[in-house]
Chain A
């Protein structure tokens, strides 16, 4: 028995591989649930109902999926060009804090239709700038951006913490470290009344579609792919390598920054240092589950969000720790890597 590289990746396999991966992850996690002494099928059923069973649950799942779509896109566009942006978490936070600073300032007096787009742009810009630093270090000094973008996450979170306990601290928050709230007028309209679900979801879905069109239809998309697959080949064909990577880094950092901006304006209205339960890191898993495809990112983000939201319900009903959600999501990353491998290779006897 041995592996042989496939001439073509069958489209069918590419489409079903994430499903198989998820099924495998659920099967393995099922063993853990059984070991914890709970009925496996019921546990999974509880996750499904916990995530989608009621109006409240479903809107909560999609609210959680919104930032994951954007951070997932951030990772997907970067990885496609072999720019290893592990810094979406930090870019999320600088996007968020920028929006909090501007949205609570005199800028909030801007006319309504201008205010929200301006804040979106500001958040995205902040994320972009934070990603440009690691990219510059890579282009200029060949420093690996995996390390620098990752470490910048801690810098960014500490910086945010400095601000929310300092100049941006909300004096009305009974001493809690939280930022000034953004103006009422900067809050995103709800998508569904009496829920937390806001129009940020529509923005995220639109972003996924735009990224997809950008990658599949444009010169930028073609060049990015060339630069990612073979820098020497791309350079020979006249692809401006540095510029292309700068654009990719801007897009990636911008999407992560936008995620932070939307989270502030859509959900909380202010920034705390626990605004993100690791959205930036989960975005990497989302991107991998989606096979780096922007439209697939939407589905992968909803799946991941559903696991986290649903696990709460299951935990309450069956007394299994909610950590099982983390286990399932992480396992599905591993099984997805295996599944991806088999879309490229086949087993021969």
Chain B
């Protein structure tokens, strides 16, 4: 088979961090290549160099045996390279069609040929089974659909090589499966693909070949048939990883209780009459397809939304003031779903991000004056304790790789054991080693009596950690089931809202 893409001898340093060191990878026509590696291993950097977002310090990128000029995304696009970023780069206020067309039109032509574009888009979507409504406003689409638009945009630009950076991090299992069948179809039609993932299952299922990066170097290269999940995990991290196992525990007193809570925003009930009860030393898992109200639920218990109807009790006391500060003072740790927007402020220093939410405590400020030294020392401890790599306390937070930023957020919440932990998608985008470490941390906190509300789209995670499980569907919560009695099939039905129908039928009769 012919080689369509060849990276050879790519190296890239950021200051004293070596992100890529002498990496050579070849991609053949019709092949799906998975790129694996720990958080901060240099995967995104390598793909950014390939696409021209970064300029390599040395090494070349050749497409069809023609060298790409370095640092020119346009040249990459013209050569047939398409990229789907981990953070989408689409405009939410434009339609699907307009989003797909932007960047392809000439700046000096006043007329845009919408009809031709529409025909081309529909042709592509038919060919690969990627159905979309070209006139839908992007902001109204689910995350999975938005990603489809990202892919369509790349294909619209006649991409023959498609790069996807952690495409499934934000997708549900079902959406991910659909994505991979699309990718396989594309490969069959002669496209070549590279995708980055931390999920070994899907790597084993979808890829033809796997390249493992470690510390910026190629650690190994395997054909799918000749390797196993265990071996890959070991290659990535350098040692064996196993997720910790939850042992039985008896829950204590009720820590957090919601009864009949409705949250109305903009005239719409984002949460409808939900009730749950969370005890000390217990993990309550909330599963669901993304976009069903998880964000509002985590806002509600993080102090960013108030119930319109119903009430919330914290350690038995009705909670009048649901402000962020009040919650933190009463010992609630919060891990937000959206780490880039809410969890951290990229332009601020790492130490500032670790102390901002408790800046009022005497440890970090007195008489309104910030104790910078204490803040830096605190950040340094978290960096050490939670293995945050790629930054010092005074460096800017945006320089951390996605997974390392997540570790930082976890660290500032778990450093002192919280009485209640709200964890929304806590391991999204983390490598297998980090997932295991975080799970161990959460279980450890549970053992010591922390009540954990785990909001996650990752079923394996919920099954592995939770004592009881509820599903969220269209802003409503299902009745809880004990984890022992749950199996994936049953949870699938719960997420599909089967209980809702029987509930509604119950109301009607």
Contacts and interface: CB of A to CB of B under 8 A. Distances in A.
Interface of A: 1-2, 4, 7-8, 217-223, 225-226, 229-230, 232-239, 348-349
B369 A8 contact: no
Given A218-B369, A219-B368, A232-B342, A226 B356 contact: yes
B302 A236 contact: yes
Interface in B275-313: 302-304
Contact of A222 (B71, B302, B325, B352): B352
Contacts of B347: 229-230
Given A221-B370, A222-B356, 5 more contacts: A4-B55, A7-B396, A7-B399, A232-B341, A233-B343
Contacts of B14: 7
B135 interface: no
Contacts of B71: 1-2, 4, 348-349
Contacts of B132: none
30 contacts: A4-B54, A7-B14, A8-B15, A8-B395, A8-B396, A217-B369, A218-B368, A218-B369, A218-B370, A219-B365, A219-B369, A219-B370, A221-B370, A222-B352, A222-B356, A222-B359, A222-B370, A223-B359, A225-B348, A226-B345, A230-B347, A232-B341, A232-B342, A233-B343, A235-B342, A238-B303, A238-B328, A239-B356, A348-B70, A348-B71
B437 to A, nearest CB: 24
A226 B370 CA distance: 14
Nearest first, the 10 closest Cβ-Cβ pairs linking A and B are: A238-B324, A236-B342, A237-B357, A2-B71, A233-B345, A237-B356, A348-B55, A230-B345, A232-B341, A238-B325
Nearest to B395: A8
A329 B323 CA distance: 47
Contacts of B180: none
Contacts of A229: 345-348
A222 B345 CA distance: 12
Q: How large is the interface on B (under 10, 10 to 19, 20 to 34, 35 or more residues)?
A: 35 or more
Contacts of B323: 238
A2 B70 CA distance: 9
A328 to B, nearest CB: 32
A234 B55 contact: no
Question: Most A CB atoms within 10 A — which of B302, B324, B328, B395?
Answer: B324
Interface residues of B, dominant DSSP:
loop
B72 A236 contact: no
B15 A7 contact: yes
Contact of A237 (B52, B54, B324, B368): B324
Given A2-B55, A225-B348, A233-B341, A238 B15 contact: no
A234 B357 CA distance: 8
Question: Most B CB atoms within 10 A — which of A223, A226, A236?
Answer: A236
A238 B368 contact: no
Contacts of B365: 219
B14 to A, nearest CB: 5
B336 interface: yes
Contacts of A217: 369-370
B57 to A, nearest CB: 10
Nearest to B72: A2
B360 interface: yes
Interface string B448-486: 000000000000000000000000000000000000000
Contacts of B334: 236
Interface string B260-282: 00000000000000000000000
A236 B304 contact: yes
B344 interface: yes
Contacts of A348: 55, 70-71
A234 B345 CA distance: 8
A233 B344 contact: yes
Given A7-B399, A238-B357, A226 B369 contact: no
A10 to B, nearest CB: 11
